[in-house]
Amino acid sequence: MTPTTETTVGIGGAAESTDMVLNIGPQHPSTHGVLRLRLVLDGERITRAEPVIGYMHRGAEKLFEARDYRQIVMLANRHDWLSAFSNELGVVLAVERMLGMEVPERAVWMRTLLAELNRVLNHLMFLGSYPLELGGITPIFYAFTEREELQHVMEEISGGRMHYMFNRVGGLKEDLPAGWTDRARTTVSDVRSRMDRFDDLVLGNEIFRGRTRGVGVLTPQAVHAYGVSGPIARASGVDFDLRRDEPYLAYPELQDTLKVVTRQEGDCLARFECLLEQTHNALDLADACLDRLAALPPGPINQRLPKVLKAPEGHTYAWTENPLGINGYYLVSKGDKTPYRLKLRSASYNNIQVLTELLPGTLVADMVAILGSMFFVVGDIDK
């Protein structure tokens, strides 16, 4: 047997690792807005991550205190600009709960329908933009094609494309245009018929699966510790959805159609799969709402309100299953026409804080894949 010889070659100071601080943002293609990530690197590996927020802070919660109960809908409409209808909904539900007000049945079903259409619009944006961040250009064009179809329906009923301003305390702004439900049903059917593009083009892509499978695994323990919610939490096996577990609007009657989509892997791929499957289910829920609306007799779409609307003294908490997760509204009233305090619990704020635990130990090359799979809107973080 030939003896072997070991030779140690000195490499000087390079043997000692030197941490490097890297700023991603606040203006960066992977951050969905003005979010800054302060990363500490050891070579190509992230050792510490700190989300730096506040670049878009508008003080909406303070402005709530200077607007009456009709005007605050406009402020709440805008923090998650992809979920405007759902944002409005949580505010009016909180005010109606304070007033002890029951809204007409047609308004309940119409709100549920529009909330699900808004969910599809939100998810389509991320279904297109996430592959784009990983180098796949084509899906974003398909996503915007489907979004335009749905935007036409939402614009016809509300007059708005992004900020609908269609919810009112007591119901909705006005009744449906003639023939609108038939056009909405056709649009939902058309969008559903083309959703397999994302199943085939994205999930069937080996490069996409290679970049996302097993990357950025979020544990159920971290989900609970940071208050993560929505599709991100359900992708980690946390089976919780307010529409099923504490139903509101017409969801108690939609339990046979509602499907809470979960995965156990908790990685980037699981988060995308949850988002895509939830989009399919939102289209099914929209169809169910359209069927029920067609069966309802004509009736009012809102309640008559006094000229000056005042909520009784007290406090309440309303929460909704927004497209990106749980939104909560803690309303405190002193009996005036403006809220004494309205605290907003937005989904993106909690969802993005978990990056401090999720990013350390991963490679810089995987950072964009992880960040994109968190599905956040910066305005929803900063409020």
Mean of the per-residue pLDDT values for the chain?
90
Give the integer Cα–Cα distance in Å for 148 and 156: 12
Task: Give strand ranges (E) for the chain.
Answer: 20-24, 36-42, 45-52, 167-168, 171-172, 314-322, 325-333, 341-345
At residue 246, the pLDDT reads: 94
At residue 54, the pLDDT reads: 86
Task: Categorise residue 132: left if φ over 0, alpha if ψ from -120 to 50, beta otherwise.
Answer: alpha
Task: Name the band, by pLDDT with cuts 50, 70 and 90, for residue 59.
Answer: confident
Q: Provide mean pLDDT across the span 113-140.
A: 93
233-263 residue pLDDT tens? 999 999 999 999 999 999 999 999 999 999 9
Those residues whose C-beta lies under 8 Å from the C-beta of residue 139, and which sit 6 or more positions away, are 127, 128, 131, 132, 197, 198, 201, 202
Model pTM greater than 0.85? yes
Q: Provide mean pLDDT across the span 199-206.
A: 89
At residue 6, the pLDDT reads: 47
Task: Name the band, by pLDDT with cuts 50, 70 and 90, for residue 10.
Answer: very low
Task: Name the band, by pLDDT with cuts 50, 70 and 90, for residue 18.
Answer: low
Identify which has the larger pLDDT, 245 or 30. Answer: 245
The pLDDT > 70 percentage for the chain reads: 94
Identify which has the larger pLDDT, 13 or 126. Answer: 126
At residue 3, the pLDDT reads: 60
316-357 residue pLDDT tens? 999 999 999 999 999 999 999 999 999 999 999 999 999 999
Of the candidates 237, 188, 261, 223, the one whose C-alpha atom is nearest the C-alpha of residue 374 is: 223
- pLDDT at residue 13 greater than cutoff 80: no
At residue 58, the pLDDT reads: 81
Task: Name the band, by pLDDT with cuts 50, 70 and 90, for residue 12.
Answer: very low
- pLDDT at residue 115 greater than cutoff 90: yes
Q: Provide mean pLDDT across the span 56-65.
A: 88
Listed as own residue / partner, the contacts of 307-313 with beta carbons closer than 8 Å and 24 or more positions apart are: 308/68, 308/337, 309/68, 309/69, 309/70, 309/169, 309/337, 310/69, 310/335, 310/336, 310/337, 311/69, 311/95, 311/98, 311/99, 311/335, 311/339, 312/98, 312/99
At residue 30, the pLDDT reads: 64
The pLDDT > 90 percentage for the chain reads: 73
Task: Name the band, by pLDDT with cuts 50, 70 and 90, for residue 146.
Answer: very high
At residue 92, the pLDDT reads: 95
Give the integer Cα–Cα distance in Å for 341 and 330: 8
At residue 4, the pLDDT reads: 55
